[in-house]
Amino acid sequence: MTNLDIRALITTQLGRIAPDIPIESIDPKADLRDEFDIDSMDFLTLITALGKELSLPMPEADYDQMRSFDDLLTYLQTNTN
């Protein structure tokens, strides 16, 4: 999966969780929970959806590596290659 594919997947899943937030205006380095004003259940929904889509286990112990859009992108790139 390419960088653009992963980026599109994250954007799609974020759009499902927070449809009122303009994805293109987010700070890619900001904490997703703060940036999208999502709670822990929404964050878990995001991680679960991404893991399912990519057939990738995403253990809770790794959640700190997925705080921002860029962090999540890097995590997925690293673990899907």
Distance, C-alpha 64 to centroid of its chain: 12
pLDDT of residue 52: 95
Domain count, the chain: 1
Virtual CA dihedral for 72, 74, 76, 78, nearest 10 degrees?
Answer: -150
d(CA 25, CA 40): 22
d(CA 55, CA 24): 26
Q: Nearest CA to 43 among 29, 57, 64?
A: 64
- pTM for this predicted structure: 0.88
pLDDT digits (tens, 9 = 90+) for 2-25: 889 999 999 999 889 888 878 778
pLDDT of residue 19: 84
pLDDT of residue 20: 82
Q: What CATH code is carried by the domain that includes residue 42?
A: 1.10.1200.10
The residue range of the domain holding 48 is 3-80
Residue corresponding to tokens 């889509």: 53
pLDDT digits (tens, 9 = 90+) for 19-61: 887 877 888 999 988 887 888 899 999 999 999 999 999 999 9
